[in-house]
């Protein structure tokens, strides 16, 4: 009895293997022949890397600032020359305050730096003032420009003090405060954005591409004939996961190569841990896409839902651009539900900070639970049923 049973079990397993291989082969053929799939899988990551990597930058460089020099003394000119040397500011000399205001209203300059006519006199009295007006619609940018101006003026003051101190009285144990940013020592947003970009691209490949695949079969009516055959739902699902997992890994490869060679983002942590985390997240995204696909059964709806519920939140709410601690509690909660948030934290930590084990273990655990949950759900909603 038991011998017979194990024999039929073995036959079942053989059938499973044959069918799965056949389905995967079919899936890969379709993937390779349908150009739109490859465009999304490989072309889109490259475009995104180039756009986000080069186009999107939170740094301020060469911000035009109007300079109104109402005091023509050598001291005043010396202050202004500090601005001219800065890579962050590109000064535009204007003759009068009215002209400067006109430029500001026309948004041709982003700020006005004014040295009033009594500057040298009051400096001599020990208390000079300069004025800085910033165009405040983009407050982050305005603050960044202001801080640059501040530091330039501050440096000038320091230099002045140094020069005076060079004479008789020796300087005594002066404390200079040098600001330093942790984990992004170049203070370059590219270092900050590119690892985040990997999250976005994996979301796009995983959720968006797979959201289409089941829906496409529903739309074209290919599932009806497939259902009435010895094929099991698990086999259909696995055959969808395997090829798109490979495409996702290829996309990851493109991203990692771009991060390393194009943007020279240093990697502080372990590449292996990063690969492991990426695989976990890819499974999460694939599971999510398959669930959407099986429920909507319509390519258009599926792609819309995939973009709105996975890509957009990953872009805006996962901490890719904005720190989640600064947003309202409700939005924070939304961010906390997103698996992308945890992959974001993991990948940034690995790139910019190193192997911080507490972070790695926590995020691995969360991503694993999500993967199990979503793939289980995908299996639950994929049934050989038409009603």
Site for another protein, rule CB under 8 A: 15, 18-19, 21-23, 26, 29-30, 33-34, 217, 220-232, 384-387
Q: Would you state the structure tokens that stand for residue 337, as one six-digit string?
A: 């539900």
Report in angstroms how near the CB of residue 385 gets to another protein at its nearest. 6
Report in angstroms how near the CB of residue 2 gets to another protein at its nearest. 21
Q: Which is nearer to another protein, 36 or 62 (CB)?
A: 36
Q: Which is nearer to another protein, 102 or 384 (CB)?
A: 384
Report in angstroms how near the CB of residue 345 gets to another protein at its nearest. 40
Q: Which is nearer to another protein, 29 or 122 (CB)?
A: 29
Indicate the length of the chain as a whole number. Answer: 387
Q: What is the DSSP string of 206-265?
A: IIIIHHHHHHHHHHHTHHHHHHSSS--HHHHHHHHHHHHHHHHHHHHHHHHHIIIIIS--
Q: Which is nearer to another protein, 227 or 263 (CB)?
A: 227
Q: Which is nearer to another protein, 12 or 81 (CB)?
A: 12
**Please, what's the b/e burial string for 237-268 (b: 16 or more CB within 10 A of its CB; e: otherwise)?**
bbbbbebbbebbbebbebbbebbeeebebeee
Say if strands 111-115 and 89-94 run parallel, antiparallel, or are unpaired.
unpaired
Report in angstroms how near the CB of residue 222 gets to another protein at its nearest. 3
Report in angstroms how near the CB of residue 231 gets to another protein at its nearest. 5
Q: Which is nearer to another protein, 85 or 228 (CB)?
A: 228
Residue with tokens 């004025």: 131
As a whole number of angstroms, the distance between CA 26 and CA 83 comes to 64
As a whole number of angstroms, the distance between CA 334 and CA 331 comes to 5
Give every CB contact of residue 240 below 8 A, 6+ residues apart in sequence. Answer: 27, 210, 213, 214, 286, 290
As a whole number of angstroms, the distance between CA 369 and CA 284 comes to 9
Q: What are phi and psi of 161, to 5 degrees?
A: -60, -40
Give every CB contact of residue 208 below 8 A, 6+ residues apart in sequence. Answer: 40, 289, 303, 306, 307, 310, 311
Nearest residue to 112 (alpha-carbon basis) of 127, 124, 95, 126: 95
Report in angstroms how near the CB of residue 29 gets to another protein at its nearest. 6
CB of 335 closer than 8 Å to CB of 341: yes
Report in angstroms how near the CB of residue 283 gets to another protein at its nearest. 25
The three-state secondary structure class of 171 is coil
Q: Which is nearer to another protein, 19 or 114 (CB)?
A: 19
Q: Which is nearer to another protein, 125 or 387 (CB)?
A: 387
As a whole number of angstroms, the distance between CA 226 and CA 233 comes to 10
Report in angstroms how near the CB of residue 14 gets to another protein at its nearest. 9
Q: Which is nearer to another protein, 30 or 73 (CB)?
A: 30
Report in angstroms how near the CB of residue 235 gets to another protein at its nearest. 9
Say if strands 63-69 and 89-94 run parallel, antiparallel, or are unpaired.
parallel
């Amino acid at each position: 009895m038991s011998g017979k049973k194990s024999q039929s079990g073995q036959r079942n397993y053989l059938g499973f293997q044959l069918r799965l291989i056949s389905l995967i082969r079919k899936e890969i053929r379709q993937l390779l022949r349908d150009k739109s799939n490859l465009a999304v899988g490989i072309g889109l990551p490259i475009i995104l890397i180039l756009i986000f990597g080069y186009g999107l930058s939170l740094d301020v460089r060469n911000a035009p600032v109007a300079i109104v020099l109402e005091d023509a003394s050598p001291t005043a000119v010396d202050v202004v020359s500090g601005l001219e040397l800065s890579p962050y500011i590109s000064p535009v000399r204007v003759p009068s305050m009215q002209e400067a205001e006109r430029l500001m209203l026309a948004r041709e300059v982003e700020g006005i730096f004014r040295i009033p006519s009594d500057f040298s006199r009051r400096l001599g009295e020990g208390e000079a003032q300069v004025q800085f007006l910033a165009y405040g619609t983009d407050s982050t940018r305005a603050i960044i420009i202001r801080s640059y101006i501040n530091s330039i003026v501050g440096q000038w003051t320091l230099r002045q003090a140094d020069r005076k101190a060079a004479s008789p009285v020796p300087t005594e144990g002066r404390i200079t405060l040098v600001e330093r940013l942790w984990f992004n020592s170049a203070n370059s947003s590219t270092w900050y954005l590119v690892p985040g970009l990997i999250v976005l691209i994996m979301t796009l490949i995983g959720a968006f591409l797979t959201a289409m695949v089941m829906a496409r079969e529903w739309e074209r009516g290919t599932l009806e004939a497939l259902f009435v055959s010895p094929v099991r739902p698990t086999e259909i699902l696995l055959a969808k996961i395997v090829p798109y997992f490979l495409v996702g890994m290829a996309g990851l490869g493109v991203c990692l190569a771009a991060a390393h060679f194009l943007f020279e983002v240093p990697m502080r942590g372990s590449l292996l841990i990063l690969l492991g985390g990426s695989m976990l997240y890819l499974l999460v995204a694939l599971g999510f896409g398959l669930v959407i696909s099986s429920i909507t059964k319509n390519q258009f709806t599926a792609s819309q839902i995939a973009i709105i519920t996975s890509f957009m939140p990953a872009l805006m709410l996962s901490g890719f651009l904005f720190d989640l601690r600064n947003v309202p509690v409700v939005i924070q909660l939304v961010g906390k539900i997103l698996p992308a948030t945890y992959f974001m934290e993991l990948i940034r930590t690995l790139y910019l900070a190193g192997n911080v084990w507490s972070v790695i273990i926590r995020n691995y655990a969360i991503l694993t639970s999500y993967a199990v949950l979503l793939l289980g759900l995908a299996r639950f909603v994929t049934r050989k049923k038409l009603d």
